[in-house]
Structure 1
Amino acid sequence: MTATAPATPSAAAAPPADSAPAARGIRRPWTEHGLTFTAPFLLMYALFLLWPVVLGLKMSLGDDNITGSGGEFVGFDNYAEALTDPGMWDALWNTVWFTVLSTVPLVLCGLVFALLAHGLRFVDWLWRLSWFAPFLLPSGIVGLLWLWIIYPAEFGFADQLLATFGLEPGIGWLSDERYAMLSIVGTTVWWTVGFNFLLYLAALQSIPQHLYEAAELDGATAWQRLRHVTLPMLRRTTLVVVVLQLLASLKVFDQIYIMTQGGPDDATRPILLYVYQEGFTGYRIGYASAVSYIFFALIVLVSLVQLRLARRSREENSR
């Protein structure tokens, strides 16, 4: 009688080779990398952002006209003309000057308002709403509202208020070069400070309470707690607010177009309004595109400097 060897695990029946893919499922690179889900966004991004950028660069190298004429290649002649055009440099200076005048109060006022709202213990919702509500208004409403407030002669609310206190009315808030840019800055601060206020308020609410308790136990005063606890904890938020505010102020257009159209004597005309006038009033689309790309290079340069300063600040804080 012959003995049979017991079956070993290796001798067990293995599933057919062609059934393994069916069990695991078919893996394709297209679905594995999620391109199926990102394809609609990538298509819209290429269609409405990348293609206009490429088309605008092409137009900046030609003498394209809004009427459809022109279109001949002129190389960098538009850029050379823009760099030697006093009107372009005046508009660029107005943009930089507006950015300097508006960024400082917008950052400081946003911080002060957030500190006040965070410390209030009664009807705090009303203060938050009153400081943030103007930011929700469209630019057209803001421009018309402030036109009524600072309208000259006896119709403006500001002049009526001056006359009430016995002061001389009739200040050219928008017609005098000394006050026009300041009036635009005041309008912008009132309108957009709510966004910075909201960012600072959210950052204040995220500061751990035990830091204040420890500082108070050490005998720190309210000013010392603000200086050594609150402000250092808001450093990153301040950097974000400054960067966003610089970029937003450099792109100013709406309120100036509505309130002054760049006047008086182009004293408030920013670079974007200059581009609009050259392209859609002067019909020089190619030249306006070249100015736009010069301004785009300036914004990229400002962003790189800000990122460099932020990286250096983080490196110093980590030491």
Structure 2
Amino acid sequence: MASNRSLAVPLPKTREGRRRNLRAPWSNALFVLPFVIVYVLLLIVPLCLGWWLSLQRVDLLAGTSEFIGIRNYLDLTLDPIFRGALRNTFYFVILTVPVFVLLGLALALVLNRPGRFGAALRALFFGSSVLSVTIVTLIWKLVMMPGNGLLADMSHTLHLPEFVPLMHEATALPAIAVVTVWWIMGLPMMLFLAALQQIPQELYEAAALDSASRWRTFAKITLPSIWRTVALVAVIEAVLQFQLFGQAQLLTDGGPNNSTRPLVQFIYETGFRQWSFGYSAAAAQVLFALMLIGVVTQAWLLRKKEKA
């Protein structure tokens, strides 16, 4: 007796089906097309134009430009003001980034607790991050003002010599670093808090059953679990601090004796005060390369940690 069940034989794809499958990826690409257009127009095109501008000598008043190759980059290596700005920028990054990582992690560990008191402290530390750079510098100018500032009043009360950190070359940039840490500390603290709250509590319970000390628990459970966040915070803050401008501009205007002039201020003054746009664009490309190195370093650290 013949069976009524039919055999499942795959039907050959029709020409219309093949066309539909080929059209599907292109139709899906239309959803990301607006983002790609905006990304290219606002990032890729300016980046390429800036690179091309850095290879020219531009006379803005005459409206002319001359291709000079890498002459602007060679001039940068011989420019003492540029070398000083580059040195100040690196020094500022070294002053601030480790503090952001260590202090941000310490605050997150202390404030990683439920309750209204912990929430109030988190809001207090994060509150300064929402202030603008103008407000922050005005507050700290009142603190460091010579003669009538808070530091000066404390020195007079304690019968000590008046200390004005912004007036001395050795202390001006560290003082700006203190202002920056006070201002932006809330961001790394919140990133670390978010990472700590993702760690399963079962791991800590198992460590408590094994009578593990706090340091051993931190070294074996907490730190490995938030390693990606540590690398992320370090690279984010390094990239941000390489772009130091507002604090130095408003607190010291690059002084005293160019000891606080960062790279971004050098780019701004060269381009919009001296009208040397090609020279300024070359310095901007150097800054971009430094930030790109930071991003590549983050990716390398994360990949190395995952392989380990």
Q: What is the TM-score of this pair, normalised by structure 2?
A: 0.88
Asked if 1:224 is matched to 2:231, the reply is no
- Aligned identity (percent) is 33
Root mean square deviation, CA, Å: 2.3
Task: Note the residue ranges of structure 1 that are not aligned, 5 or more in a row.
Answer: 1-8, 10-16
1:64 alignment partner, SS class: strand
- In 1, the alpha carbon distance for the partners of 2:215 and 2:116 equals 22
2:290 counterpart residue number: 298
Quote the offset at 1:88 in angstroms.
1.1
Identify which of 146, 149, 162 aligns with 2:155.
162
Q: Which amino acid aligns with 1:189?
A: V
Deviates more, 1:88-97 or 1:41-50: 41-50
1:264 alignment partner, SS class: coil
- In 2, the alpha carbon distance for the partners of 1:29 and 1:151 equals 67
Equivalent pair of 1:61/1:290 in contact (CA under 8 Å): yes
Task: Note the residue ranges of structure 2 that are not aligned, 5 or more in a row.
Answer: 1-5, 7-13
1:23-172 mapped onto 2 (5 Å cutoff): 29=23, 32-119=26-113, 121=115, 123-154=117-148, 156-169=149-162, 171-172=163-164
2:192 alignment partner, SS class: helix
Q: 1:61–1:128: structure 2 CA closer, same or farther, 3 Å change rule? A: same
Q: How many residues align?
A: 296
Q: 1:285–1:30: structure 2 CA closer, same or farther, 3 Å change rule? A: farther
Equivalent pair of 2:232/2:298 in contact (CA under 8 Å): no
CA displacement, residues 88-133 of structure 1 (integer Å, 9 cap, x when unaligned): 1111010000000001111111011111111465511110101111
Quote the offset at 1:24 in angstroms.
11
1:5 counterpart residue number: none
Identify which of 253, 257, 282 aligns with 1:261.
253
- In 2, the alpha carbon distance for the partners of 1:159 and 1:120 equals 40
Q: 1:258–1:209: structure 2 CA closer, same or farther, 3 Å change rule? A: same
Identify which of 272, 275, 290 aligns with 2:267.
275
Q: What is the TM-score of this pair, normalised by structure 1?
A: 0.86
Q: Which amino acid aligns with 1:145?
A: I
Q: 1:121–1:83: structure 2 CA closer, same or farther, 3 Å change rule? A: same
- In 2, the alpha carbon distance for the partners of 1:33 and 1:148 equals 59
Deviates more, 1:115-124 or 1:125-134: 115-124
Decide which structure has the larger Cα Rg and report it.
Answer: 1
Quote the offset at 1:48 in angstroms.
1.7
- In 2, the alpha carbon distance for the partners of 1:150 and 1:192 equals 19
Identify which of 233, 238, 248 aligns with 1:246.
238
Deviates more, 1:191-200 or 1:156-165: 156-165
Equivalent pair of 1:152/1:173 in contact (CA under 8 Å): no
